[in-house]
Structure 1
């Protein structure tokens, strides 16, 4: 099974994203980051998504109330869909992150989402991605 399907299946089996065991998350992120590099994903293709994540992170730091950012979290999915429509290489990231976003219901889930995307991007860059 390819890494994209492995991650989606794993996330499907979770009650919520905070249940994503950190060692599994990092291992999946490493493999997926390398895969995205091989697909020639460039981070500028998902910049709006990454910027939105950082903005939500900042808002949550101020208020510490997930309800204040919940709409923004759900609206990350169309940003990913747009990036995937513009660039084929962004489609696997869009599919994996959309599945993860569906499991975000609390602050702890959102924090795990941030850890996941930051880990994926870090491994993508480490593999030589731009």
Structure 2
């Protein structure tokens, strides 16, 4: 997962991450889901994903180039930190999301398009995770 994190760090924004880099079998989302396996509960992943999907609803109809400024995005980090401390979320997953979301200045989600690509990325992880979890 370190290679994926480094590749994302090298990007200026998340829209630069192509769907072909993460969606196909054996690519990033599949690799992440396989690594998470049973180390991360499906329930925790679904709670996180539900929060993202609720934010996505607010972006419907917005211009893709519009700045994404939903502060709920940053509240995902403390939630994940808490879940990680309780061993419900892996440290690797927390680090991955932290690189993507950032701290408001260095994150990869700057526009609505970046956020939409993040939603697609998380959708693929959730879908593959179901395949690998018991």
Helix, strand or coil for the counterpart of 1:75?
Answer: helix
1:115 to 111, 116, 120: 120
- The residue number in structure 1 matching 2:70 is 70
- The residue number in structure 2 matching 1:90 is 90
Counterparts of 1:84 and 1:13, CA distance in 2: 25
Counterparts of 1:46 and 1:91, CA distance in 2: 13
Helix, strand or coil for the counterpart of 2:11?
Answer: coil
Counterparts of 1:92 and 1:106, CA distance in 2: 25
Paired residues of 1:30 and 1:120 also in contact (CA < 8 A)? yes
Structure 1 segments unaligned to the other structure (5+ residues): none
- The residue number in structure 2 matching 1:15 is 12
Paired residues of 1:11 and 1:100 also in contact (CA < 8 A)? yes
Paired residues of 2:13 and 2:110 also in contact (CA < 8 A)? yes
Paired residues of 1:46 and 1:80 also in contact (CA < 8 A)? no
Task: Tell me how many residue pairs correspond in the alignment.
Answer: 124
**RMSD across aligned C-alpha pairs, in angstroms?**
2.0
Paired residues of 1:17 and 1:109 also in contact (CA < 8 A)? yes
Paired residues of 1:34 and 1:124 also in contact (CA < 8 A)? yes
Counterparts of 2:18 and 2:55, CA distance in 1: 23
- The residue number in structure 2 matching 1:103 is 108
TM-score scaled by length of structure 1: 0.83
Structure 2 segments unaligned to the other structure (5+ residues): 102-106
TM-score scaled by length of structure 2: 0.81
User: Which aligned segments of 4 or more residues in structure 1 are displaced greater than 4 angstroms?
Assistant: 65-69
Counterparts of 1:31 and 1:70, CA distance in 2: 29
